[in-house]
A and B are shown apart, each in its own frame.
Chain A
Amino acid sequence: MQNGAQIEYDYSVAKAFTFATILFGIIGMTIGVVLAFQLAFPQLNNLAGEYGTFSRLRPLHTNGVAFGFALSGIFAAWYYISQRVLKVSLKESPFLMAIAKLHFALYFITILLAVVTLFMGISTSKEYAELEWPLDILVVVWWVLWGISIFGLIGIRRERTLYISLWYFIATFIAVAMLYLFNNMEVPTALVSGYGSWIHSVSMYSGTNDALVQWWYGHNAVAFVFTTPIIAMIYYFLPKESGQNVYSYKLSILAFWGLLFVYLWAGGHHLIYSTVPDWMQTMGSVMSVVLILPSWGSAINMLLTMKGEWQQLQTNTLIKFMVLASTFYMLSTIEGPIQAIKSVNAIAHFTDWIPGHVHDGVLGWVVFMIMAALFHMVPRMYKREIYSKSLMDTQFWLQTTGIVLYFTSMWIAGITQGMMWRAYDEYGSLVYSFIDTVTVLHPYYTIRAVGGLLYLIGFFMFAYNIYKTIRCGRVLDKEPVNATPVAA
């Protein structure tokens, strides 16, 4: 292909992952809303026998949104962005094309199997690593396929220098591979003993060590699924959509390498006042605070990219989504370090403030950014204008309201409960029995469930808007350069 000639990018795999993003988003978030209502109205636990209890559904929600929804979005963005920043089409290599298709197929099968096994209660119990060993092996296979796709495409690239987004994708690939392998080290019991269920396994680590490895993984699964690939997206989509250059290359370098170095230390903050050695807890706590620097480095770099162009917030709803995402990223990455301070953690740990923190991060930052990415990609992949601007705007405000209801109610719930657990009367007796600290949360659980429901309704509007765009958006004769065209 000659210089200057238009490269025909191939979006078949990106489209497949886009479909999966919306499907798993609907499933995962719907279960999330059910869970929220169950905490407020416990009768809802009895609707589907053993398969409908809060406890059985909770891993389905976390796995569904993290590894179903978010990962699909990340892979969709990868198969879209990579071709463009490397200046190479997937079509040029039949081998890489086959790898990419296999990657999607195996990934999709794994998530479906995950849904079935988790419903059945087949679980290792380790958070975000609940899948049993046969599924772990499948995960490793398609992760390696993704790696081949990453380094294969890079190998045949025309653009010599790797764009910032690619740094973050590479980091995601390597870090998750390392974390996942070490945390899922387990021994299948039927293979050793010849008895019992073939799918059951037992962890290679015990007790405190298991906890340490688990939270080294658990915290950094957040880092390398909910942070680095999402930063990869915003570094591509925000400059592209706004027509602005990234504010600072130096800040990008500082934020990237800083994040990689510091993030992995912070897992210890999940284990403060536990039985892991005190020095590890302190390291986890200190490094969590240091983590503010690289996190805010990226967020500020993004916000300053909009310098002098803030009027785009009024004209372009997509910019609004991405600016709000960066802002929630800043909120979430200051809140996390606060919770990691030992004296705050003493109150916050084990309370609803923790899910509150997770959700302002994922709802405000991760999901908003993934939806913005899809809004940017779909019109270019299908060569159609976005179906409705008013639907986008309504969705934006509905979901923003939902997030605010969610995290404010959980802040209050968490701090209320944390303070009640430690309240003493003048005779030195505990004031509240445990159940007192549960019933008091009912109003906050109700508000949170309503917030979640608003957010879910917004997501359905998003899915409908994307569907209508693909089916009957006005056809575009050439690809838009920057701002994505939206029908009024």
Chain B
Amino acid sequence: MFHWFEQRPFFFAVLVFLFISFAGIVEVIPDFAKQSRPSVGTKPYSVLELAGRQVYIKDSCNACHSQLIRPFKSETDRYGMYSLSGEYAYDRPFLWGSKRTGPDLMRVGNYRTTDWHENHMYEPSAVVPGSIMPAYKHQFTNKADLDTAYAEAYTVKTVFATPYDQDLNGDGKIDVELGDYETAIAKAKEDAKAIAAGMKNEAIKADVEKGQIPEIVALIAYLNSLK
């Protein structure tokens, strides 16, 4: 039978396709809708947090840090409650990582502060002796790209119906505001001031006051949101 296919490249290719697509159809498709349903209390990222998330991706933090707490006591003791599918509903892309050269960051916002991140990102081994993490000093001078963060928020809102400008918990208030471009950027700069208020670096504070948001400020906003 297979010999017949070996002389007919077209049918051979079709048979190959059937063999390889079978697993994907059975495995990937059935639970697609169920898995993307958000958990109660999960909110979309603000523009400043998204800008920080883009810094996280730009510097490839996910190469060494996971964001996935497995359901073992040794992990919940160390990092907090194990991960639930719905908590990732607004993560595009997902950032689970595949290697823990450094610790998990899924709920880092629960136990690290703005001040801690500021010192740690500038010189990790000054905060954690023996750390092998590189220093990310350039994040203190490079500026975050709020425009692209707004573009991303606007895109997920319009294309994937991510619930910006909606009342999610029924308390009569909008949970995560996006609004138009001017509103969103102004809001992000206000959020940045709140973060900068918790930092020591005077140059950072001055930049934020001028409306120039250093990457580190956005990144800290993102890390603080991970809970």
Contact = CB atoms under 8 A, between A and B. Distances in A.
Interface of A: 38-39, 42, 45-46, 49-50, 53-56, 58-59, 121-127, 151, 154-155, 160-162, 167, 170-171, 174-175, 178, 182, 187, 189-190, 192-197, 200, 202-214, 216, 253, 257, 260-261, 263-265, 267-268, 270, 273-277, 280, 283-284, 287, 346, 349-352, 354-355, 421-424, 430, 434-435, 438-439
User: Which 3 residue pairs across A and B have the least CB separation, nearest first?
Assistant: A207-B88, A196-B148, A45-B134
Nearest to A268: B27
Contacts of A54: 63-64, 134
A274 B60 contact: no
B9 A162 contact: yes
B94 A162 contact: no
Interface in B10-66: 12-13, 16-17, 19-24, 27-28, 31-32, 35-36, 54, 57-64, 66
Contacts of A287: 23
B155 interface: yes
A303 to B, nearest CB: 23
Contacts of A45: 134-135
A209 B9 CA distance: 34
B78 A192 contact: no
A276 B6 contact: no
B132 A39 contact: yes
B183 interface: no
Contacts of B68: 274-275
A434 B130 CA distance: 11
Given A206-B92, A434-B78, A195 B151 contact: yes
B76 to A, nearest CB: 11
A275 B85 contact: yes
Interface stretch (B98-106, B168-176, B193-201, B206-214): B98-106
A123 B93 CA distance: 11
B154 A193 contact: yes
Contact of B96 (A274, A284, A352): A274
A424 B70 contact: no
A421 B103 CA distance: 10
A58 B63 contact: yes
B2 interface: yes
Contacts of A196: 145, 147-152
A16 B26 CA distance: 41
B83 interface: yes
Contacts of B156: 202
B92 A167 contact: no
A193 B136 contact: no
Interface residues of B, number: 86
Contacts of A121: 58-60
B158 A192 contact: yes
Question: Interface majority SS on A: helix, strand, loop or mixed?
Answer: helix
Given A42-B134, A200-B152, A438-B132, A205 B92 contact: yes
Interface string B104-143: 0000000000000000000001001111111110100010
B95 interface: yes
B180 to A, nearest CB: 11
29 contacts: A42-B134, A50-B59, A53-B136, A54-B63, A59-B60, A123-B58, A124-B93, A125-B60, A178-B20, A187-B155, A189-B148, A192-B155, A202-B92, A202-B156, A203-B92, A206-B160, A207-B90, A208-B88, A211-B96, A213-B28, A216-B28, A260-B16, A260-B20, A261-B22, A350-B100, A434-B78, A435-B128, A438-B102, A438-B131
Contacts of A167: 6, 12, 16
B86 to A, nearest CB: 8
Contact of A125 (B3, B22, B85, B93): B93
Given A123-B60, A195-B154, 7 more contacts: A56-B59, A121-B60, A205-B93, A206-B90, A210-B94, A216-B27, A264-B24
B78 A275 contact: no
Given A162-B6, A187-B155, A55 B60 contact: yes
Nearest to A421: B74
A162 B11 CA distance: 12
Given A193-B154, A196-B150, A208 B85 contact: yes
A274 B83 contact: yes
Contacts of A265: 23, 27
B66 A350 contact: yes
Nearest to A423: B74
B19 A350 contact: no
Most B C-beta atoms less than 10 A away, residue of A154, A194, A274: A274
Given A178-B21, A193-B155, A253 B2 contact: yes
B77 interface: yes
A127 B98 contact: yes
Contact of B131 (A49, A187, A435): A435
A9 to B, nearest CB: 20
B74 A56 contact: no
Given A56-B59, A189-B148, A203-B93, A42 B132 contact: yes
A209 B111 CA distance: 28
Contacts of B75: 421
A154 B11 CA distance: 13
B20 A264 contact: yes
Contacts of B23: 261, 264-265, 287
A97 to B, nearest CB: 20
B151 A216 contact: no
Given A174-B17, A187-B155, A193 B100 contact: no
The listed residue with most B CB atoms (<10 A of its CB), out of A54, A126, A196, is A196
Interface centre among A122, A174, A209 (most CB of B within 10 A): A209
Looking at B19, B36, B103, B147, the one whose CB has the most chain A CB atoms below 10 A away is: B19
Interface in B153-169: 154-156, 158-160
B90 to A, nearest CB: 6
A265 B21 CA distance: 10
B78 A430 contact: yes
Given A189-B148, A273-B72, A276-B35, A151 B158 contact: no
